[in-house]
Amino acid sequence: MAKIERTQKLFLKSLKEKFQGQDPQSETAEYYKFNGYHQSPRKEEFVKASRAVEMDRGISMYDPVRCHLGGIPLGQRQLMTYEVSGTGVFVEGDDLHFVNNAAMQQMWDDIRRTVIVNMDLAHQTLQKRLGKEVTPETINEYLHVLNHAMPGAAVVQEHMVETHPGLVDDCYVKVFTGDQELADDLEPQFVLDVEKLFPAKQAEVLSAAVGKSLWQAIHIPTTVSRTCDGGTTSRWSAMQIGMSFIGAYRMCAGEAAVADLSYAAKHAGVVQMASHLPARRARGPNEPGGIMFGVFSDIVQANRKYPNDPAKASLEVVGAGTMLFDQIWLGSYMSGGVGFTQYATAAYTDNILDEFTYYGMDYIKDKYKVDWKNPSPNDRVKPTQEVVNDISTEVALNGMEQYEQFPTMMEDHFGGSQRAGVLAAACGLSSSIATGNSNAGLNGWYLCMLLHKDGWSRLGFFGYDLQDQCGSANTLSVRGDEGAIGEVRGPNYPNYAMNVGHQGEYAAIVGGAHYGRGDAFCFDPRIKICFADPALKFDFAEPRREFAKGAIREFMPAGERSLIIPAR
């Protein structure tokens, strides 16, 4: 390792905005003079809103003076704003809690309400068993019927209740295939055109991987998956698929072949976004704990939009992943804690992780001649222990030195877990992008943790004792229940299952290995294509920008209810 010069400090603008009128390198600050929570316009809004709620319901609520530490409210130090990294947008910290951010909710809604269902199995049943003709015209007709039925409308029976289209406007079905001739024969409104959505090199690989098979990208209504759960998605979808086949192909509603179609839609031909979890975690498919990291890196689309910047593509996965896995999965599903947001946002605000990661990019270019701006498997470095140790050590030391040299940045990331996640993420990303190997990236993460702990004699919260101090040993293990390649690890992988501040970064490390190689997908080409859909409510190519829009209240989500509630 050897320090390299990098004069650009991506975090400086944020620090100057957050700590206005102060030198970012100052070692002292003023405290206890900020008038508590009154310094925050958002918390003032909370108090006002709470008073209205209390008057309405007659039960006490938000009372930050009386209820916080016996009369000492938040805000004895400066309550900072945050710049959502890579966006230039400054937001209130409170607005990055998923309850206060409609974009965050929609990102998870859009994943949970999605399944991909194969059409070839059903077509074989129709053709070979029932002798029916399947042509582009019949497929188009079926898709018309399905887009009527999937939101909750009747197709076969009389006197049925139906859902209001204005409440389920986010629900639809499109198809994709690697057979461009077939794609060209289908109505454009129903087609995810791989050639148009992806850069040519990626499109070629994706089309070849999907081949001639035809797949349905299905998004059931947000309201349905919210009221029920992720396990509902494939069931809701399969019911409407079955009814649509009956309607479109004039089948008998009770004939045995319908069972084949149901089986294909519910089991044999369905791709869930997440596998179900064991009883101790008790979740069905399509819940966050079952999303493999390789799948998550395919869901996020930044490498499609920014194919020549694997660092940015990975950082977008960090943002999306920490929000989903830390704030929603571990924070709320698993623990119920409200404060997990504080861990997660450190990784996608103020351009701090961005700066550390681009330092790593400069380093791998300078020392190993990795042309990271032109992703290719050809110039990756062989992932030896020495190489990973070297890259990770240099990136870790640089990050620690930046925190030391800019005390306002240390104050920004005031918790050790925040710093631990950010430093190790930069090390993991640098290692994985340099080598094109996700497990090498994970190995870089754990060396950083050990270096960090010994350098500052502290690391993160208690949980870091377990995961990060024994983590080196499982990074290259692939024994059952002890290890796996990074792509198929996930939030419920044994050693990862309990710790905030890790899983989003792990997902990005896995993604980085592929983005660095210029791969079209990380694990599943079908998922990569499915989430390239511009009609989705949430733009998966720009998760951090979407979160910023949510924070400043400019994001329009699905799940409309004003049609069925009294006007305010």
Buried b (16+ CB within 10 A) or exposed e, 12-49: bebbeebbeeeebeeeeeeeeebebbeebeebeebeee
**Which tokens go with 150?**
């999937």
Among residues 4, 32, 338, 374, which is the contact residue for another protein, using CB under 8 A?
32
Q: Of residues 178, 331, 483, 559, which one binds another protein by CB under 8 A?
A: 483
360's CB contacts (< 8 A; 6+ apart) are: 311, 391, 394, 395, 426, 427, 429, 430, 433, 434
The four Cα atoms 74, 76, 78, 82 give a dihedral, to 10 degrees, of -20
Q: Does 410 bind another protein (CB under 8 A)?
A: yes
Tell me whether residue 109 or residue 468 sits nearer to another protein (CB atom).
468
Among 192, 315, 451, 548, binds another protein (CB under 8 A): 451
> Rounded to the nearest 5 degrees, what angle is found at the Cα of 500, between the Cα atoms of 498 and 502?
100
Identify residues 359-398 at the interface with another protein (CB under 8 A). 385, 389, 393, 397
Tokens of 510: 């896995």
CA nearest 295: which of 311, 309, 275, 315? Answer: 275
| Among 272, 327, 495, 499, the one annotated catalytic | 499
If the CB atoms of residues 110 and 411 are measured against another protein, the closer one turns out to be 411
Helices in 300-369 by DSSP H: which ranges?
302-305, 310-321, 340-345, 352-368
What is the closest distance, in whole angstroms, from the C-beta atom of residue 456 to another protein in the complex? 6
Min CB(338)–another protein separation in Å: 16
Ordered alpha helix ranges (H), 380-495: 385-405, 407-412, 416-435, 438-456, 462-467
Q: What are the residue ranges of helices labelled H in 84-219?
A: 102-112, 120-124, 136-149, 180-185, 194-197, 200-210
Residue 389 bears catalytic tag: no
Distance CA 239, CA 243 (A): 6
157 is catalytic: yes
30 binds another protein per the rule CB under 8 A: yes
CB of 567 to another protein, least distance (A): 44
**Residue 96 CB neighbours (<10 A):** 24
350 binds another protein (CB under 8 A): no
443 binds another protein, rule: CB under 8 A:
yes
Does 337 sit near another protein (CB under 8 A)? no
For residue 114, the minimal CB distance to another protein (Å) is 36
Of positions 28, 131, 133, 161, contacts another protein by CB under 8 A: 28
Applying CB under 8 A, which of residues 290, 310, 460, 512 lies at the interface with another protein?
460
Q: Strands, E, within 241-323: which ranges?
A: 270-272
Cβ proximity to another protein: between 45 and 404 the closer is: 404
Quick check: 43 binds another protein (CB under 8 A)?
A: no
- To another protein, the closest distance from the beta carbon of 99 in angstroms equals 23
Active site residue 463: yes
420 interacts with another protein by CB under 8 A: yes
499 is a catalytic site residue:
yes
| Rounded distance between C-alpha atoms, residue 166 and residue 106, angstroms | 17
The correct pick among 4, 473, 535, 556 for binding another protein (CB under 8 A) is 473
Fill in the per-residue mask, 46 to 85: x = in contact with another protein (CB under 8 A), - = not in contact. -----------------------xx-x---xx--------
Among 5, 31, 131, 567, interactor with another protein by CB under 8 A: 31
Instruction: For the CB of residue 366, give the shortest distance to another protein in the complex, in Å.
Output: 17
Catalytic residue among 172, 343, 359, 506: 343
Alpha carbons within 13 angstroms on the beta-carbon side of residue 481 total 1
342 binds another protein (CB under 8 A): no
Near another protein by CB under 8 A: residue from 450, 485, 497, 498: 450
CB of 414 to another protein, least distance (A): 5
Among the listed residues 172, 348, 446, 540, the single contact to another protein using CB under 8 A: 446
Among 459, 527, 532, 551, binds another protein (CB under 8 A): 459
Quick check: 319 and 503 in contact, CB under 8 A?
no
Instruction: Tell the smallest beta-carbon distance from residue 384 to another protein (Å).
Output: 10
Closest to 252 in 3D by CA, of 152, 146, 156? 156
Identify the H or E element spanning 54: helix 41-57
Residues 500, 344 contacting (CB under 8 angstroms)? yes
Site size for another protein, by CB under 8 A? 56
Cβ partners under 8 Å of residue 292, min gap 6 = 274, 275, 487, 488, 489, 490, 523
Residue 432 binds another protein (CB under 8 A): no
Stretch 2-21 residues interacting with another protein (CB under 8 A): 3
Q: Please name the amino acid found at residue 507.
A: A
User: CA 515, CA 236: separation in Å to the nearest integer?
Assistant: 34
CB of 190 to another protein, least distance (A): 48
Which lies closer to another protein via its Cβ, residue 345 or residue 474?
474
Decide if 271 contacts 115 (C-beta within 8 A): yes
Q: Which of 157, 254, 336, 480 does the annotation list as catalytic?
A: 157
Q: Is 458 in the site for another protein (CB under 8 A)?
A: yes
Nearest approach, Cβ of residue 34 and another protein (Å): 12
- Contact residue for another protein among 411, 487, 519, 533 (CB under 8 A): 411
Q: Give me the sheet containing 270-272, strands edge to edge.
A: 172-177, 214-219, 114-118, 270-272
Q: Which residues bind another protein (CB under 8 A)?
A: 3, 26-32, 69-70, 72, 76-77, 385, 389, 393, 397, 400-401, 404-405, 407-408, 410-411, 413-417, 419-420, 443, 446-447, 450-451, 453-462, 465, 470, 472-477, 483
> What residues act catalytically?
157, 343, 463, 499
